[in-house]
């Protein structure tokens, strides 16, 4: 997902890093799978709240929103895996 124009790319990734740092702290006390699930649930809840209370894209259906979020997540997940995997020899 491309950062919005109202914050800089640096600010965007500062927020991302803060979420990851908090998740890493929780991972010291709880299983990684539960932290991952909690992050996904929190993102879904936050995004659902913002979608329901949106002031733009009022004609967007729930199915359109779901497709958008699904596609964005898949793209972000694939990009992050690719950056973490060692190059194939």
Q: Per residue in 24-47, pLDDT tens?
A: 999 999 999 999 999 999 999 999
Q: Enter the tokens of residue 40.
A: 């996904």
| pLDDT score recorded for residue 1 | 52
Q: What is the pLDDT of residue 89?
A: 76
| pLDDT given for residue 87 in this prediction | 83
Low-confidence stretches of the chain (pLDDT < 50) are: none
- Can you give the three-state secondary structure of the chain, one letter per residue? CCCCCCCCHHHHHHHHHHHHHHHHHHCCCCCHHHHHHHHHHHHHHHHHHHHHCCCCCCCCCHHHHHHHHHHHHHHHHHHHHHHHCCCCC
* Cα distance between residue 5 and residue 13, in whole Å: 14
- Give the Cα separation of 51 and 33 in Å (integer): 27
Q: Is the pTM of this model over 0.85?
A: no
**pLDDT at position 3, please?**
52
57 phi and psi, to 5 degrees? Answer: 55, 40
């Amino acid at each position: 997902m491309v950062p919005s124009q109202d914050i800089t790319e640096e600010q965007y990734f500062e927020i991302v890093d803060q979420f990851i740092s908090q998740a890493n702290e929780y991972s010291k006390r709880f299983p990684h799978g539960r932290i991952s699930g909690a992050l996904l649930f929190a993102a879904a809840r936050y995004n659902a709240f913002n979608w329901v209370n949106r002031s733009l894209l009022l004609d967007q259906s729930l199915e359109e929103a779901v497709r958008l979020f699904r596609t964005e997540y898949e793209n972000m997940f694939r990009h992050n895996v690719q950056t973490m995997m060692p190059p194939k020899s």
